Structure 1
Amino acid sequence: MVVVPRSKKISAQQVVGEQGAAHVDARAHSIGFLFKRYGAPEAGIDGLIELRDPETGEVGGRLIAVQIKTRQDRPYTGETDDGFEYLCEPEDVAYWQQANLPVIVVLVRISDQSLYWKAAPTGSISDPETRRLRINKATDKFDEQAASAIAMLAVDQAQPGVWLPPSRQPDDLLLNVVRVVLPKTIQVAATTYRHGKDALKALLDITDHPPTEWVAKGGRLVSFLDLESSELRHVVDVGSIEPLSIEDFSLHEDEDEQRLFVELLNRTLRAQLDPLLVWNKFLKLYYFAPEQGKIDRSLRYMSSKNEATRAVVKAKHRPDGSISYVRHSAFSGRFCRQFDDWYLSIEPTYVFTRDGIRPDRFAGERISKLKRLENNAAVRGQFVMWRSLLTGLGQSPRQTDLLDPPVPSIPQFLHFEALDMIELPLSVPDDLWRVRDTHPPEVNEEELPLL
C-alpha cells in the first residue's frame, strides 16, 4: 500500500492575517514605536508595542499589547464615510481583561490599507454594547496623530501614575491656588480660659452671635479682629492686648505656632465666606445653598476669557416633577506656605442633598460617577469660578458682578490674588486629560450634566 502525503496548505485568511500584521509592523515603526510580533501560536495578542521617544530614542520598558483584526475588502458594520462599528468576540474580551498590560485592537483592511485602533473593551462580556468598538475615521486612525493617546495607556511601573508624552509645543500651566494677602498686624492677648470651647461658652452668655475668627490656646487668644472693640474683650485681659507684626506668626518655624496660625486662617476664611457659602464641618467643604424661595441658583463670574454663568445649585427632577436630588458646587481649601508667602489651594467638588438641605444618602455614589465624567476643562472651569469669587471678596457686587443680590458687608482680613499662568516649554495635549473610556463624554468647560 502506497501512502500519498497530503500537501501542506495555508489558508487565504492566514495570508490576509500576515498582511495585516505586516501593515501594523510598518505603521508602528513609522509612528516611532517599536513593534515585536509574537508569532504562532497566539490566543488573542499578536504583538507588543514598546514606547520610544522619537526625539531622543529613549525607551523605558513601557509596553502595550496589540491584537490585530484583518480583512481583505469587506465593509465594516454600519460603515459610512465618518465611521463604523466592530463587535469584539466575548472570548477575546475575557482574554484581554485578564492581561497585565493595556491592550489595543488594531483593525486593518488590506484593500484600502486603512488602519484604525481602539483600546480593548473593559465592560461586561455578556453585554454586546460594551464589546462594541465605535470607530471615528477622523480621530481613530492608527498613525502619528494617535501616538500620544496610545502612549497614555502605558503604565510606567517605576513611577506612580500614567506616562503622558509631552508635546513639543509650549503651554501655559494654571495652578489651582491663589495667593493670600495677609493683614499687616495680628492681635494677641492673655485669657484665663484654658480652652477655646470654654471661651466660646462665655461669649455665648453675652451674645447669640459671637465672632468666630479667633483661636485660644495656652493662655493666649489670637485674632485679626480689634480685640478691644469686639465682643472678645469680655474673654481676654484688655490690658494685655498687643498688636504684633504678622510675620511673628506667619513665618514662625515652630510647628505648634504654624498649626495655630493655619487654624486662625481657616476660621477667618469661614467667617468671611459665611454670607456666601455653607460650611460643612464633617465634609470640610464650602458649598452654595439654594436661593431663598427656590432651589436652583446660578452665578455670574469672569472666566479665563469672558463673562460666564454656572449653575451652582441644580435640582434633578423625577418624571412626576418631584426632586430626586440637588447638586451643589463645592470646594475644599487648604492653606500652605511656600517660602515667605501663603497660598490657598482649591479643590473643586460637589455636595449632594435630597432637597437643598438634607444630606443625600447616595451622595458618595453620585460624586464618584460625576468625577468619572470630568475632564480637565471641566475642573479648570470650576476652579476659575472659585478663584473669581475669592479674589472678588470685599469688592462691591457691582464691581465683581459675582452675586445678585448683593451680600452683607463683613470685615475682610484675608484677600486673595490670582497667580499668573506659568509658561512651560512642553505640554500635554488636552485630549489626553480624559477618562479612559472607549467613548469619553463631551463635557464643556462650564457645566457637567446632571446624572
Structure 2
Amino acid sequence: MGSGKQVSRSAHIGDAGIALIHQRVSAMDHVWHERTVDAGIDGTIELRDPATGEVSNCHLQVQSKASDNDFPGETADRFHYDCDERDLDYWMKSSMPVLLVCSHPKRGEAWWAHIQSYFADPARRASGRVDFNKITMSLEGDVSDRLFAVADPHGRAHTPVADLRDETLESNLLPVTMPDVFWAYDAAVTLPRKVYDLQRESSLDIRDDFTLFGGRLLTWSPVEDTALAGAVNGDPTIEATGELLDGSPDSERVLVRLLNNAFRQDLRDDCAFHGKRHMLYFRATDDLSPRSWNTSGTHWRSVFKPHAKKTNPSQVSYYKHAGLKWQFLNLDDEWFCALTPDYYYSIDGYRESRFTAQYLSGIKRLERNPAVLGETRMWAAILAGREGGHDSLFSQNERILDFGKLVTFDTDRGIDEAKWKRAAEASDPTDPLADGELAETA
C-alpha cells in the first residue's frame, strides 16, 4: 500500500505557532499578513488605530519560533532563546521593526521581543541570546500600545485617549496642621552643627525641631530643661507662626525648615535621617529581626527586613529599611506634605550598602503602582498616628505636626491601568538582581 503525502511534525508545529500569532493579532483588531516564502520573516502585523479603526500604515515584521517542548532554561517564570547568527544579522539589517515570537501552540502560550531594541546592547548582541520574562513579555491580551510604541515611537499614527469614566485618584499629598506659635531665642552659636555639639554635651535627648535665622534660634517649644538650653541666650519671644509668612521667599524657606525639622523630631525615635538623600528610614531592630507595620487591619508591610544570600541562605546579603522622602508645599495658602516612599539598604542594620544604587534600580523596576500606593498609605497611617506597629511607638509620642488623610481627586477621565503596567514592564523586562550575587564587604 503506497504512502500518501505527509506533513512533518516540525512543519505542523510551525504552522500552529503562526496560527496562534494570527489569532492574537486579530483579537487586538490588527491585521496579520502571512508570507508564503520564509526568508527569516514569517509575516507582518499591520496596526489599526483602535480609536478610529483605520489602518495606520505601521508594520512590524515577525519571526515565529514554535515548540511543543520546553525552550532552553525554561521555568515557570522565564526561558531563553539562542538566535542563529545569520538570522540575527538579517533581522538587524531590516528597516522595519522585527519581533521574535516564541510560542507553545498546544498550550496557547506566546512571548515576544523587539529584536533591534533588545540587541542594541553590545553585550546582548555578542551573546545572540534573548532572555524571556514570561510575565512582562507575554503576547496575550491587548498589547497594542506597546506595539505602536515599537512601530511608531514618535506617536504620529496613534495617540491614546483617556477613557470617559468616573475615577477617584488618590494622591501622595497629606494636609498638615502646624502649631499656631513658635519660640524665638537669641542664638549662642551660628551653625546648626554647633547646636548639635552643645546638645550632645548636655547628655539630654537631642532635639531636631529648631532652625537658625537672623541670629535667632527658632523652635516649636520652650528649650528650658532640654538639650537646646545651652544653645540660646536669654528669654524667648513667642511669635505667631503666621508672622513667618510675610510674602518674602526667605520667610517661607524658614518655615519649611522648621516644618522639616519638626517632621524629623516627630519620627526620631524610630527613624534615622540620611542627610545626603534627605530621607528618613526605619532603624534596625535591636536583634536585627524583621519588623512590620499594619496598614489596613489585616495587611502587614515590612519596614525592616534581612535578605538572605541566594548562594547561602543561612547568611544575610543585606538589610532593607523602608524609607521616606518628603516635601512641604504651600498650595493656595494650604500646607501639604508630599510623600515619596524610598528604601535604605544596610550591610549590618546600620552602615549603608555600597550596592544601594543597584538595589534601588532593581526594586524600582519591579515595583508597580499598587506597591508604591501601599507604601504611601503606610507612611500616611504612621504620620496620622494610627496604631499599626508591633510596638506602636509612633502613636505614643506627642507630635508637633498633625496630618490628615491622603488627598483624593474626582475625575471624569480614566486610564487603562493594565496597559500602563505592561508598557512600564516592557521598557526593561529584565531583573538586574537576578543574574548574580552582589559581593558585599563589611
TM-score by length of structure 2 reads: 0.70
Residue type at the aligned position of 1:300: W
Cα RMSD, aligned residues only: 5.0
Distance 1:106 1:206, change over 3 A: closer
Q: Does 1:120 align with 2:119?
A: no
Give distance in 2, aligned partners of 1:312 and 1:176.
19
After superposition, where does 1:261-410 map in structure 2 within 5 Å?
A: 261-292=255-286, 294-303=287-296, 306-318=297-309, 319=312, 321-392=314-385, 400-404=387-391, 406=393, 409-410=396-397
- Distance in 2 of aligned mates of 1:86 and 1:193: 64
- Report what 1:174 is aligned to: 170
Q: Hey, what does 1:6 align to over in structure 2? A: none
Unaligned segments of structure 1, at least 5 residues: 1-16, 442-449
Q: Alpha-carbon deviation of 1:88?
A: 7.1
Does 1:219 pair with 2:212?
no
**How many Å apart are 1:414 and its aligned residue?**
0.7
Deviation sequence 1:355-393 (CA, Å, 0-9, x none): 11222222221221222211222211111111111111x
State the match for 1:147 in structure 2. 144
Q: Which stretch shifts more, 257-266 or 118-127?
A: 118-127
Asked if structure 1 preserves the Cα contact closer than 8 Å seen for 2:172 and 2:407, the reply is no
- Cα separation, partners in 2 of 1:167 and 1:208, compared to 1, 3 Å: same
Show structure 2 runs of 5+ residues with no match. 1-13, 432-436
Residue of 407, 418, 423 corresponding to 2:405: 418
Q: CA separation in 2, counterparts of 1:276 and 1:365?
A: 26
Q: State which of 235, 243, 259 in structure 2 corresponds to 1:248.
A: 243
2:111 and 2:134 in contact (8 A); partners too: no
Aligned residues of 1:166 and 1:426 also touching (Cα < 8 A): yes
Deviation at 1:315, TM superposition (A): 1.3
Query: Partners in 2 of 1:432 and 1:157 — Cα distance?
Result: 17
For residues 286-331 of structure 1, give each alpha carbon's deviation from its aligned partner in whole angstroms, at most 9, with x where no partner exists: 1112222x2122223233xx43112221112342723221111112
Count of residues in Structure 1 that have an aligned counterpart in Structure 2: 404
1:436 pairs with 2:429: no
Shift of 1:405: 5.7
1:191-230 mapped onto 2 (5 Å cutoff): 191=187, 193-201=189-197, 206=202, 208-226=204-222
Question: Equivalents in 1 of 2:127, 2:274: separation in Å?
Answer: 41
Give % identity: 19
Of 324-333 and 311-320, the range deviating more from structure 2: 311-320
Contact 1:329 1:350 in 2 (8 A): yes
Whole-Å separation in 2 of the counterparts to 1:149 and 1:429: 14
Residues 238 and 426 (structure 1), Cα distance of their counterparts in 2 relative to 1, 3 Å cut:
same
Q: 1:51 to 1:181 in 2, by over 3 A?
A: farther
What is the TM-score of this pair, normalised by structure 1? Answer: 0.69
1:119 and 1:438 in contact (8 A); partners too = no
- TM-aligned CA deviation for residue 131 of structure 1: 5.1
